[in-house]
Amino acid sequence: MRTTVTIQASLFFLLSMLPALLFAQQVTTCTNPVGHAYFAHKGVLAKEDSEWKIDTVPKGAFTLRKFGKDDFDIIFIDSTKRNHSTAQDGAKVFPLRRNETEAAFLVHYHDSEESQIYSFFKENSGAARFSVLVSKGGPSIYKSSVMVGDCTPINFKLINEGDSQ
């Protein structure tokens, strides 16, 4: 009986996500972010561990997707090699700025006291890049970081379609 309920719940979840999956458009995929993070002497972190450290997501990938007019999501593979969706994980994604060569999005997780700003940009050399700034608070770990990585070509036209700004 319990297995049947689990299967039914899983099926309902997959069917409820079907419209979003069918209408989602991939804007870009970015990989290999590397940068620095500061871990504050706060929460469970010992003073000797409070310092700047190299920050990276080994084999991490981040895909910006657009749903409809102004709805965005970032699908990512973390260092544990698990897939996540910012929207499915409870975050709100807000476009901050966007034009022909750059776009930035605020991702805010209200329940986990974490915010991120993803910036996608085309450098003067033509290279597509992204950066992610992370501000994580809460009772256990307090972290501030910035990482930068490479992207496939970024579809800025798709980002700007239906722009309500």
pLDDT digits (tens, 9 = 90+) for 79-112: 788 899 999 999 999 999 999 999 999 999 988 8
Domain limits for position 47: 25-160
Is residue 8 situated within a structural domain?
no
Q: What is the pLDDT of residue 16?
A: 39
pLDDT digits (tens, 9 = 90+) for 15-50: 434 444 457 899 999 999 999 999 999 989 899 999
Question: What is the 3-state secondary structure of 9-27?
Answer: HHHHHHHHHHHHHHHEEEE
Q: What is the pTM of this model?
A: 0.82
Is residue 20 situated within a structural domain?
no
Rounded distance, CA 27 to CA 33, Å?
18
Phi, psi of 73 (to 5 degrees): -145, 150
Q: How many domains does the chain have?
A: 1
Phi, psi of 17 (to 5 degrees): -85, -15
pLDDT digits (tens, 9 = 90+) for 129-140: 999 999 999 888
